Amino acid sequence: MELNWGLAIAIYLYVAAMAGGAYVAAALCCIFGPKETRKATCYGYVYAIPLLIIGAIALIVDLGQPARFLNLLALFKFNSPMSSGAWALLFFGFFCILGTIFTLGEGKEGGFWGTLYRWIEALVPREAVAAIGALFAVFLMAYTGTLLNATSVPMWSETPLLSGLFLASGVSTGVALMLVLNRSITGLPQLYALEELDNVAIIMELALLALMILMLRREIGPDGHSLSHALVSGKLGTWFWIGAVIIGMILPLILNFISGLTGKQAGKAPSLISPILILIGGFILRVVIVYAGQAGLG
């Protein structure tokens, strides 16, 4: 068995899920947050667009020809992860554009964004865009794990938890991106609310990752080792434990806990180091899972 999924697929899985996480965080802030800070927190819609473009480019690079990506859109096949994923990208991108118009046009009486804002607002409520787009965002984040599940690679296909893991990681990295880029335009209460959301996502991520490893340890792969062997041992294992788990999850949780205890009282913004570590760890997680799954395949 031979599979040649490499860095391009890892980048695609990473940025697509991060775009979904940024959108979900923005949708929650826009629906439930104070109106006076809504515009700043809704910038997650804006951030999602370049991430989707990067993801589409990475997918096209892996496919080898742009025409192959267009072929995925030519005929919708619900039972095809590649086809449903391509359509999810398309629909999700549409809601990102609508969200961007709401964000950039709010409060402007004229001009390009202000005019578009008035037209769109007359047709569809802001809350509907946030809620429906969030559904596509959740589907997209979970789909990045389903794409691996649907292959014949044992490490990917023998665990049903990849979709949940990539969903939690997508929320974590998307929120982390907002914590990095929104520091100068978002109020402290909203920044700390985002940090708390990140904590929940990381804890879910750690729990799902632990369960996945336990499940994979019980199964033997083609190389005679357990399916978790390539992931948790050797060079890839070093990257996994240090890069993905310690740097990307445990250290940010500790820093967020300290920030929550001392930062709020002192009126300081949450730690900038924590979201940067989350972004690094989230990428390493995708790379390690993509390469570990293919290790030992003949």
Pairwise CA distance, residues 200 & 176, whole Å: 12
Q: Which carries the bigger pLDDT value, residue 257 or residue 220?
A: 257
According to the model, what pLDDT value does residue 79 have? 61
Are 252 and 289 in contact by the 8 Å Cβ rule? The answer is no
Mean pLDDT of the chain, nearest integer: 84
- % the chain with pLDDT above 70: 83
Please report whether residue 191 resides in a domain. Answer: yes
Any domain includes 2: no
Q: What is the pLDDT of residue 71?
A: 61
Give the pLDDT confidence score for residue 148 in this predicted structure.
87
Is the residue at 210 inside a domain?
Answer: yes
pLDDT at 1: 44
Q: Which residue has the higher pLDDT, 259 or 68?
A: 259
Q: Check which CATH number belongs to the domain holding 130 and give it.
A: 1.20.1630.10
Would 100 be classed as within a structural domain?
Answer: yes
Evaluate whether residue 49 is within a structural domain: yes
Average pLDDT over residues 144-173: 88
> Above 70 in pLDDT, residue 221?
no
Tokens of 199: 């904590």
Which whole number is the average pLDDT over 80-109?
80
- Its pTM stands at 0.88
What would the pLDDT profile of 44-62 be if each residue is shown by its tens digit?
889 999 999 998 888 788 7
- The strand pairing partners of 226, in sequence order, are 220
Task: Answer yes or no: are the C-beta atoms of 129 and 31 closer than 8 Å.
Answer: no
The answer to the question of residue 28 being in a domain is: yes
Calculate the dihedral angle through the C-alpha atoms of 156, 160, 164, 166, rounding to the nearest 10 degrees. Answer: 10
pLDDT bucket at 206, cuts 50 / 70 / 90: very high
Please tell me the total count of domains within the chain: 1
The amino acid that residue 269 corresponds to is: A
Distances (CA, A) of 176 to 195, 248, 287: 8, 11, 19
- Residue 210 reports pLDDT greater than 60: yes
| Domain annotation covers residue 148 | yes
Separation between Cα atoms, residue 49 and residue 3, nearest integer Å = 30
Closest CA to 126 of 117, 137, 139: 117
Q: Which residue blocks in 150-221 are alpha helix, DSSP H?
A: 154-157, 162-181, 188-217
Domain hosting 88: range is: 7-294
Residue 98 lies in a domain: yes
pLDDT for position 5:
80
Give the mean model confidence (pLDDT) for residues 240-269.
Answer: 86
